[in-house]
Amino acid sequence: MADLRLEHLSKRIGGHSVTHDVSLSVPDGAFCVFVGPSGCGKSTLLRLIAGLEEASAGRILVGGRDVTQVPAWDRDLAMVFQSYALYPHMTVRDNIAFALRSARRPEPEVAAKVAEAARILQLDSLLDRKPAQLSGGQRQRVAIGRAIVKQPKLFLFDEPLSNLDAELRVHMRLELARLHRQLGTTIVYVTHDQVEAMTLATQIVVLRDGRVEQVGSPLQLYDAPDNLFVAGFIGSPKMNLLAATRQGDRLVLPGCGGQSVPLPPLAALPAEGVPLHLGLRPQAISATGAQSLDLVIEVVEHLGSETLVHARAPGSAELVTALVTGGRTLSPGQPFTAGFGTAALYLFDPTGQRLR
Ligand SMILES: Nc1ncnc2c1ncn2[C@@H]1O[C@H](COP(=O)(O)OP(=O)(O)O)[C@@H](O)[C@H]1O
Ligand SMILES: [Mg+2]
């Protein structure tokens, strides 16, 4: 068990900055998720921590030990990849035992640790099978088993569920959460899926173009995004982001037929006429509310207990999405009053920084 600290970590590949001055503190026992769009540098950051890439600048500390120059095998970490990388000719038992046998651990210890991992991962009945005789989820569990027996200070996971179908992904997500609770070991986990990040993490690190955009608990990021990128990335369905400009104490929305809403409470007023972005979560919209926008429904998605409504002001550019409870009678072409409270509004300046 150990905490992880990154200090001004950078990685340049071919003159291009892939990891840019990343500083981060992951507490001991945390489930830390790196999330961001494809190509934002998540895997590179994880591989730097693992020692599979060499840092261009900065330091990596695991449990207070500076491992920046330490080779991968001596960092006391275990990594699980998206491609399970199992040995096809070996049984499940031998795959899980492989690292321990390579380290020449005594056979009784190997047997005990494999049995323990098999019990935790419910692989007992599969130990004599070969990987080809396993389902995707079972293979993923074997890959995790290989990591567990090393009893590492830190687990590193790179998109471990991406190759599984939707139902199995939900199931494995629960298993990973249970595993983390059971082992208590610090986990650093990479995914492009913000739902996976929200459901698994105790700490989320949002990455974009090799930089940290924001760090916080899932609900901190959901409730208080620092900028437009995090606001749009965290939360499903996505936050509505509408063009807005201040006129007096109101915000005029040119993409919603010039309708206006009152300014949310702010420490400092933005200049009049400056192009701003107004954020409003689909979940914050209902049929009633102190404020409202008059829209017309374009598309309706009936989810059962809830309904997703996509509507816009007649002849206007911007589509507004609302997630309303019930809504069974809603259909395209109907007028839709999108109600909300001023407290639900987020405002961002032209650079994307949140105005508070
Ligand atoms: N070995 C490499 N050579 C050149 N570019 C690379 C190399 N590895 C990664 N990159 C680039 O670095 C960026 C981040 O890649 P990666 O860390 O794999 O992103 P992610 O895992 O978030 O999808 C991408 O633009 C990718 O093209
Ligand atoms: Mg990746």
Write out the residue limits of the CATH 2.40.50.140 domain(s) in the chain: 240-355
| Amino acid letter, 243 | A
pLDDT at 87 over 90: yes
Task: Among 38, 44, 205, 211, name the best residue to mutate to test ligand 1's pocket (greatest count of ligand atoms within 8 A of Cβ).
Answer: 44
Please, what is the average pLDDT of the chain? Answer: 95
Q: State pLDDT tens for residues 154-179.
A: 999 999 988 888 888 888 899 899 99
Beta bridge partners of 60: 6
Q: Give the Å distance between the CA of 187 and the centre of ligand 2.
A: 16
CATH of domain 240-355: 2.40.50.140
Q: Residue 280: which pLDDT band, with cuts at 50, 70 and 90?
A: very high
What spacing in Å lies between the alpha carbon of 1 and ligand 2's midpoint? 25
Which of 9, 11, 18 should be mutated for ligand 1, with most atoms under 8 A from CB? 18
pLDDT tens, residue by residue, 225-279? 999 999 999 999 999 999 999 999 999 999 999 999 999 989 889 999 999 999 9
The closest ligand to the CA of 157 turns out to be: 2
Top-level CATH class of 4-233? alpha beta
- In whole angstroms, what is the distance from residue 254 CA to residue 315 CA? 11
Query: What is the per-residue DSSP string for 51-106?
Result: TSS--SEEEEEETTEE-TTS-GGGS-EEEE-SS----TTS-HHHHHHHHHHHTT--
pLDDT at 122 over 90: no
| In the chain, ranges of CATH 3.40.50.300 domains | 4-233
Q: Report the relative pairing of strands 250-253 and 259-262 from DSSP bridges.
A: antiparallel
Contact 36, 207 (CB under 8 A): yes
User: What residues does ligand 1 touch, defined as CB less than 6 Å away?
Assistant: 13-14, 18, 36, 38-44
Measured from the alpha carbon of residue 81, the closest ligand is 2
pTM above 0.85, yes or no: yes
CA 347 – ligand 2 centroid, Å = 32
To test the pocket of ligand 1, the residue of 10, 12, 13, 35 to mutate (highest count of ligand atoms within 8 Å of its CB) is 13
Lateral strand order in the sheet of 335-340: 320-325, 306-312, 291-302, 335-340
Give the model confidence (pLDDT) of 176-219 as tens digits.
999 999 999 999 999 999 999 999 999 999 999 999 999 999 99
Output the CA 185–ligand 2 centroid distance in Å: 22
pLDDT in tens, 92-108: 999 999 999 999 999 99
Q: Which ligand is nearest to the CA of 47?
A: 1
